[in-house]
Amino acid sequence: MSWSKLKQQLESFLCPALFGRVQYRATSYRYLPDKAGQCYITTDKKNVFNMSDTTTSVKWYQTELEIKNDPDIQIPISHDEIEEVRKDTKGVVPEDRLQIIARSRKSSAYAKELLSAQSSLSKSDFIVVANKFLSISIEESVESNDILLNVLALVDRRVGKKRMLNMTEKMKFKHPIVQYFYELRLSTL
């Protein structure tokens, strides 16, 4: 499918409040066949979703330690997770340390998931993922671990207000770019 046709189809699924604000862009190099083109997403004419661009406001993490030390990432822990740590340590660890251990375990798992999502995004091709988005259900796109599928689903008109409000807890564990588009969409409700 040509880029113009794909762009037209993606834009036809934009929610009405974001139409004109969110745009899909692509560059290509006609006279440099060895240089690949890039696809990116702009919001209010600002490039917000292009992994190779370091000027965007979204942070792309390089290491697990960066994620664990980022004060903006809040990782809630449940009572069940604390109980699991208590079982693993056979009850010899003080109560306040149980919470620290549980939070550390959960942040390590979150960091690994976030880094793997970023690395798969950098290898993937925007057009391939966009075609996949157009061929699968909106539920699959929302539940997917693929960052780009999540972004495309969040700006989609088929995701309604009730579903958006029910996703608040899930969004805490998503990549910052997914959280950015979630906040953008919430601002239009």
167 lies in a domain?
yes
- 12 pLDDT higher than 70: yes
Q: Which of the 8 DSSP states describes residue 35?
A: S
Average pLDDT over residues 125-136: 86
Q: How many folded domains does the chain comprise?
A: 2
73 lies in a domain?
yes
Other beta carbons within 10 Å of 140: 14
7 lies in a domain?
yes
- 102 pLDDT higher than 50: yes
Same domain, 163 and 74: no
180 lies in a domain?
yes
Alpha-carbon span 92 to 90, nearest angstrom: 6
Same domain, 68 and 49: no
Band (184; pLDDT cuts 50, 70, 90) = very high
Look at the chain and count its residues: 189
End-to-end CA distance of the chain: 33
Quick one: pLDDT at residue 122?
A: 44
- 98 pLDDT higher than 70: yes
22 lies in a domain?
yes
- 142 pLDDT higher than 50: yes
Q: Mean pLDDT across the chain, nearest whole number?
A: 81
Alpha-carbon span 146 to 174, nearest angstrom: 10
14 lies in a domain?
yes
Among residues 171, 181, 168, the alpha carbon closest in space to that of 73 is found at: 171
The residue among 28 and 18 whose pLDDT is bigger is 18
Band (41; pLDDT cuts 50, 70, 90) = confident
Angle at 143 between CA 188 and CA 159, to 5 degrees: 30
Same domain, 46 and 68: no
118 lies in a domain?
no
Same domain, 140 and 180: yes
The residue among 116 and 173 whose pLDDT is bigger is 173
The residue among 49 and 171 whose pLDDT is bigger is 171
Same domain, 176 and 138: yes
151 lies in a domain?
yes
Alpha-carbon span 142 to 189, nearest angstrom: 18
**Domain interval for residue 78:** 64-112
Two structure tokens written together for 144? 């997917």
Same domain, 12 and 49: yes
Same domain, 129 and 50: yes
Same domain, 53 and 68: no
- 121 pLDDT higher than 70: no
